Structure 1
């Protein structure tokens, strides 16, 4: 596999409380979109460099945790504090105990972060631009400038952004945009969740600067726009433990294949399998490479006209095991 750089402006420290036979089982990890993407990239065997700002006690702990996982961290020592949250899952669902989005990044921190990302991105050739928990942590124009400068340097730039961040990155030019259908609708880019409404929004994204667009649709097949053609991406629906992190796992899988010189269709197949396996696990952005590659054999990409509105197939564990053995 190749190397991927992740622009992760402000990772967070996460504390999650689980239940084991009536006893609190406490987990401390680094988290945030860029971290979950990095974790899946590592699981797939891709070398990962993360560029971010780490501030205060929470930032120092998060940075060490990320490095311990095997990620090369290019860090800016920030002022203030990085974000953090405490979630309680003992009842089966995530309950927020406390959350802090962290502090807004200063001009000097942003300048340092920009320089680190640009240099590392040019060395690697493939870059994911990820968001931040705090909406105003990074001025949106940073995304436009990074996309433009990295693209000028010949990099493949992938994003999983929404709203103003996405609009800014599009203005700089992007190789791949991954976005969820509800984000398209909530932002006003799509008039509704129906396939034809999403396709119209996808074509607009292409007009604004995206070479390819992937739209995830929860339990329905994802949509792919590539070279003007729209396809559906079918994957049997697995038994879900936690849907969080599935989209970031998909983005990571796509970037991993592109960094290794694979085609976009190959990238979407592996990314879809990575996202599907992630929902079966408690760890966000986690997965097992061999299982993901076996699941990739179940992914089908078909023209939209041939499969529009086809429901996603849900398999029992026994049925899924049988299908995987047949690959």
Structure 2
């Protein structure tokens, strides 16, 4: 079983528009509302790939109830700890092949509420901790969980990323997040400054890079695709969790292919299965 922990769960609302013009009124073409947060998106992809998953996190207020109801409707097993604050909402506007995100900060979480989340983590084959920390949770909280005896994959940013990197089996920052905490735009140098056991860095349209020990692997994006890129990084994490223990060239090929296929889906946590199969067959990893 693969367990995904989303420290700052959300109710994700996605609006599809023909175009986005700031300062103007818009007619929305389609609306999607469902449980979200990076770890939930990872769990959705893993479930589509045929893996058993368990979703962990905190949920509170009406938005939290909507998250629980959507997870039930999606058939995603979950064990969410209650919190006094209201679960946050995120709004994504997809228009003209680009996505604009509005993220609420999330509820302030007490030490007791966070301890209840940690107590819910069962034995697992892989643990994924994905997303930002909510207000009130100290940056070292993820590092403590990353030191477990199973592969732990961490996708976060800021001080929490720095503290977790030496302990996790793998971390997955994007290039901007890595540069922000290391002060260098060179992703290889940044990964080594992070002292990560393995860092898989999302490079956007340029693909993925993995720095593991003295080895560096690069895989270009299968092709440039237009769509909603908000779930691409979560698809990368899902591929890493699904293939934990496989050789890195094989693992990165699947991760790059799944990320590109996720861009073609309208909402995060989904992917185009036909495109994924086609992209995997063309993936090329360079040492």
Same-fold call, TM > 0.5? yes
Q: Secondary structure at the match of 1:219?
A: helix
1:65 matched to 2:98: no
Q: 1:94 deviation in Å?
A: 4.4
Distance 1:186 1:229 in 2: 23
Higher deviation after alignment, 22-31 or 173-182: 22-31
Q: In 2 relative to 1, CA 93–277 (structure 1 residues): closer, same or farther, beyond 3 Å? A: closer
Q: 1:25 deviation in Å?
A: 2.4
Where do residues 152-231 of structure 1 align in structure 2 (5 Å cutoff)? Answer: 154-171=149-166, 173-187=167-181, 189-192=182-185, 197-205=186-194, 208=195, 210-231=196-217
Distance 2:159 2:3 in 1: 22
1:106 matched to 2:99: no
Greater C-alpha Rg: 1
Q: Verify the 8 A CA contact 1:140 1:165 in the aligned structure 2.
A: yes
TM-score (norm 2): 0.88
Deviations 1:172-215 (A, max 9, x none): x111111111112223x1422xxxx221122223xx3x322211
Where do residues 1-327 of structure 1 align in structure 2 (5 Å cutoff)? Answer: 3-19=1-17, 24-89=29-94, 93-94=98-99, 100-117=104-121, 120=122, 122=123, 124-132=124-132, 134=134, 136-148=135-147, 150=148, 154-171=149-166, 173-187=167-181, 189-192=182-185, 197-205=186-194, 208=195, 210-258=196-244, 261-289=245-273, 291-303=275-287
Q: Secondary structure at the match of 1:51?
A: strand
Q: In 2 relative to 1, CA 298–115 (structure 1 residues): closer, same or farther, beyond 3 Å? A: same
Deviations 1:99-124 (A, max 9, x none): 5332111121111101112xx2x2x2
Q: In 2 relative to 1, CA 267–19 (structure 1 residues): closer, same or farther, beyond 3 Å? A: same
Distance 2:281 2:266 in 1: 23
Distance 1:28 1:44 in 2: 22
- The structure carrying a bigger helix percent of its residues is 1
Pairs aligned (count): 279
Q: Verify the 8 A CA contact 1:254 1:264 in the aligned structure 2.
A: no
- Structure 1 vs Structure 2 CA RMSD: 2.2
Q: 1:137 deviation in Å?
A: 4.7
Distance 2:197 2:103 in 1: 36
**Structure 1: 5+ residue stretches without partners:** 304-327
Q: Verify the 8 A CA contact 1:101 1:133 in the aligned structure 2.
A: no
